[in-house]
Amino acid sequence: MPEGLDRKEVAEKRRHRLFKYLRKEVLPTAFCPGCGCGIVLNCYAHPVDELQLDPNDIVAVTGIGCSSWIPSPYFLRDTLHTTHGRPIPFATGVKIMQPEKTVVVIAGDGDLIGIGGNHLIHAARRNVDIKVFLVNNLIYGMTGGQLAPTTPLGISTTTSPHGNVEHPFEIAELIAAAGASYVARWTTYHVFPLMESMQMALTQKGFCFIEIRSQCPISYGRRVGKRTGSEALQEYKESSVRIEDATEMSPEELVGKIIIGKLVKREKEEFTDNLRKLNLELRTRKIGRGPEEWSLS
Amino acid sequence: MKRNDRIRREYLSRFANRSYFMQGDESVAYGSLYAGCDFFAGYPITPASEVAEVMSAELPRVDGYYIQMEDELASLSAVIGAVWAGAKAMTATSGPGFSLMQENIGYAVMTETPCVIVNVQRSGPSTGQATKPAQGDIMQARWGTHGDHEIIALAPNSVQECFDLAIEAFNLSEEYRTPVIILMDGEVGHMREKITMPPVDKVKIRERKLTTGDELLFGGELIPPMAEFGIGRFIHVTGSTHKESGIRDVESQQAHHTLVTRLCKKIADNRDRIIRFEESCLEDADFAVVSYGATARPAAGAVLRARSEDKKVGMLRLITIWPFPESKVRELGARVRKIFVPEMNLGQLSREVERFVGCEVVSIPKIGGIAHTIDEIYSALKGEV
């Protein structure tokens, strides 16, 4: 131990440099062993640190589910932990009033695609400048492993004990079609491209969406023979196909594959910008007197 | 001073002391602008769409923001998000949309988010008579969201009062850090009357108390100060049971008890300051009519007719529905022989009146989308007084 320092100070010095981004009073995290949420939390802290975003300029909005705990309470920034499925409309309200803030939504597939799916596609359509990091573990993990709208056909869950008979959403493709500015898909195995992709999303204007395939060993993995986090990561490594390569492959070859990479990146008018433009424009337009004037005629 | 205050005042000054002929829905929107509302999120629904129509036209002119959301769940979500980012915000809906908003009303209660929800009541349940008025959401306004809570709900009975109570609703929501419901009905929402708008400086506006240092944001005092995002507090807002700091604590019985009893207490202990009503002909009355909203108008007519026939009937018009004016009603029940409660539902408030009085309570219900006539209320009274 270096002279003049006590044990506590040494421990503090050896802390990970990103430890400052965590809300210390709530640690350790409640994530299960092998859970992907810790990896996503780590990946998220990197671009936030690298971009040196002003701590007061990030607002995290989240819903209900394990991955919603990544920003709330663990990530130390202004945080709005909302009702189940609604973080995107809450975030829309925040972004409209504080357009200079980086508004980030981190939540799961049950929250954003299941109960909140309508909000997700509408926010993509509006191209409102919020950053959505969807942690997709193909299951309702927090509630004990019930069927999700992302669960693959045939998988047995606690509410599909005889095997799932529903087709799952391909959510990244859906959001790309709905009009988002930036859409990508990565897995918790691909941490470096994921960090880079998050950095891209945090800097690109408009609705940015990253689907992050993430493992839930407890509520999903053990049902499909992947009982540990590392087994899941191994599978992500083996079954992922870069989008550039996927275009060369047949549908049969793509069965069971995860297509990773950037699906869309485009310039498009942003919603809150348009609101502001309208307000400015109205200031110079001639305005009549009284309510008889605002009628459509 | 609020972000858009100068532009808002300048724009609204054009209405000062001018009279207009407009609907209650339109009037409640203008009242909200006077109250300082700068954010509206909503979803079209009869008979409340006119509120959104006025807000979509006028908010951009006062440098406020209007957004049409994909449903009512999203509408109240956006409202609450906007409030934490500094807005004074509202939404407007009717029965089916009000049902969809219930979960987020509870969220606003639990997170102590000031906001205003206009419910222009229509005939239900379900789609019911979509274009017809009713007063069937009295109990839903009180108990629609799950869990123990108190709520503030106001019921205007004229177009002018829609304007006045919109200002009152925003002021109450800011003062008590709580959602406030304006319980209009399709009758008041769609009727057209004369309304006179005041000079903007004459309107008393209460602003939320904001933290100036490191006060607790979710406890410590009966109504703690709020914070907005971006002030360096790294505030944590959650609908889960939380400590006074805002951090989730769902395990402790004590934490939940402390939080929820305080949320109830801040309304209940201030009943006398919140509650408003109007009395007429009650000094010597042997009989009383208790009514509210559009129904209070034919009820007042029936009382006048009874008086013209020397029957000692008076009237208590409730402006505040929740918290219920229980001490006023209790006192009234102690000195009259009977209380009549006409309302456009099957007796929702009548039963609430019964809870606080010993005298007989006669419900005069009417449903089906047509308001009571003076004759109907009068003939119900006549047989009994």
User: Which among B84, B111, B233, B249 is the top mutation candidate for probing chain A, defined by the most A β-carbons within 10 Å of its own β-carbon?
Assistant: B84
Give residue B42's identity as a one-letter amino acid code: G
| Cα–Cα distance measured from residue A262 to residue B305, given in angstroms and rounded to the nearest whole number | 76
| Greater pLDDT, B382 or A12 | B382
A57 touches chain B (CB under 8 A): yes
Residue B311, min C-alpha distance to chain A (Å): 44
The pLDDT assigned to A293 comes to 60
**Per-domain boundaries in chain B:** 5-202, 279-382
The pLDDT assigned to B294 comes to 98
CB B38, CB B59: distance < 8 Å: yes
The pLDDT assigned to B113 comes to 98
Contacts of B98 (CB under 8 A, 6+ apart): B72, B117, B119, B137, B140, B141, B144
The pLDDT assigned to A113 comes to 98
The pLDDT assigned to A12 comes to 79
Q: pLDDT band at B384, cuts 50/70/90?
A: confident
Lowest mean pLDDT among A1-15, A161-175, B80-94, B348-362: A1-15
The pLDDT assigned to A221 comes to 96
| Same fold for the pair B5-202 and B279-382 | yes
Cα dist from B290 to B176, B183, B384, whole Å: 27, 16, 15
Domains of chain A: 21-268 (3.40.50.970)
Helix (H, G, I), strand (E, B) or coil at A113: helix
Contact B86 A98 (CB under 8 A): yes
User: Which chain A residues in 76-95 lie under 8 Å from chain B, judged by CB atoms?
Assistant: 76-83, 85-86, 88-95
For residue A290, pLDDT over 70 is answered with: no
For residue A295, pLDDT over 50 is answered with: no
Compute and round to an integer the Cα radius of gyration of chain B. 21
Question: pTM for this one?
Answer: 0.97
Give residue A250's identity as a one-letter amino acid code: S
Q: At what angle do helices A171-178 and A117-126 cross, to 10 degrees?
A: 40
Interface confidence (ipTM) of the complex: 0.97
- How much of chain A is helix, strand and coil, in % rounded to 5? 40, 20, 40
Closest Cβ opposite residue B230 in set A57, A73, A83: A57
CATH topology of domain B279-382: Rossmann fold (3.40.50)
User: Residue B128 carries which DSSP code?
Assistant: -
Helix (H, G, I), strand (E, B) or coil at B249: coil
pLDDT in tens, A252-288: 999 999 999 999 999 999 999 999 999 999 888 766 5
Contact B69 A89 (CB under 8 A): yes
A99 touches chain B (CB under 8 A): no
The pLDDT assigned to A43 comes to 98
Q: Which of B106, B111, B95, B110 is nearest to B48 (CA)?
A: B95
Query: So what's the architecture of B5-202 in CATH?
Result: 3-Layer(aba) Sandwich (3.40)
Cβ contacts of B18 on chain A, cutoff 8 Å: 290
Q: pLDDT band at A13, cuts 50/70/90?
A: confident
Per-residue exposure over B194-212, b if at least 16 CB sit within 10 Å of its own CB, e if not: ebebbebeebeebebeebe
Contact B85 A294 (CB under 8 A): no
Q: Search chain B and give the residue with CA nearest A292.
A: B20
A288 touches chain B (CB under 8 A): no
Compute and round to an integer the Cα radius of gyration of chain A. 21
Q: pLDDT band at B370, cuts 50/70/90?
A: very high
Phi/psi of residue B321, each to 5°?
Answer: -90, -45
Q: pLDDT band at B319, cuts 50/70/90?
A: very high
Helices (H), chain B: 5-12, 24-35, 49-58, 72-84, 95-110, 138-143, 159-176, 186-190, 253-268, 271-274, 296-308, 326-335, 348-354, 374-382
The pLDDT assigned to B236 comes to 97
| Cα–Cα distance measured from residue A199 to residue A44, given in angstroms and rounded to the nearest whole number | 9
Tell me what the mean pLDDT of segment A101-107 comes to: 98
The residues with which B248 forms a beta bridge, in sequence order, are: B242
Contact A292 B20 (CB under 8 A): yes
